[in-house]
Amino acid sequence: MTVLTPIHTIHLNLGSKITIPNLSWLEFEQVLEELGEKRTLRLAYSLNCLEIMSPLPEHK
Element (H, E) at 34: helix 25-35
pTM of the predicted structure, to 2 decimals:
0.78
Please state whether 37 falls in left (phi above 0), alpha (psi between -120 and 50) or beta: alpha
> What pLDDT, in 10s, does the model give residues 13-40?
999 999 999 999 999 999 999 888 888 8
Q: 4: pLDDT confidence band, cut at 50, 70 and 90? A: confident
Any domain includes 3:
no
Contact 44, 17 (CB under 8 A): no
Any domain includes 59:
no
Q: What is the pLDDT of residue 37?
A: 87
Number of domains in the chain: 1
Any domain includes 48:
yes
Any domain includes 32:
yes
Three-class DSSP category at 9:
helix
Q: What is the C-alpha to C-alpha distance for residues 51 and 21, in angstroms, rounded to an integer?
A: 9
Structural domain boundaries, residue 29: 11-53
